[in-house]
Structure 1
Amino acid sequence: MKKIGVLTSGGDAPGMNAAIRAVVRKAIYHNVEVYGIKYGYQGLMEGNIERMEIGSVGDIIHRGGTILYSARSEEFKTDAGQEKAIEQLNKFGIEGLIVIGGDGSFRGAQKLTEKGYPCIGVPGTIDNDIAGTDFTIGFDTALNTVIEAIDKVRDTATSHERTYIIEVMGRNAGDLALWAGLADGAESILIPEKKEDFSTVVNKLKRGRKRGKKHSIIVLAEGVGSGFDYGKRIEESTDLETRVTVLGHIQRGGSPSAADRVLASRLGAQAVDLLLEGKAGRMVGIEKNVLVDHDIAKVLHEKHTINDDMYKLSQELSI
Structure 2
Amino acid sequence: MRQHSGQHILSAAIDHLFSYKTVSFHLGKEICTIDIETTNLSEDEALQAEKLANSIIQENQPIEAKWVTENELENYSLRKELSVLDNIRLVIIPDFDYNGCGGTHPKATGEVSAVKILHWEKQKKNIRVYFVCGNRVIQQLHEKHKVIQSLTTILSAPQEKLEETANRVLQNTKELEKIIDDLKMKFLDHEANQLINGAKEFNNQKLVKVIFTNRSMAELQQLGKTIAANTDNIIALLLNEQNNKIQLVCSRSKDVNINMNNVIKQVLPLINGKGGGSDSVAQGGGERTISPEELMNELCKEISGNE
Q: Which has the larger radius of gyration?
A: 2
Pick the structure with more strand per residue. Answer: 2
Q: Which has the higher contact order (CA 8 A, sep 6+)?
A: 1
Normalized against structure 2, the TM-score is what? 0.19
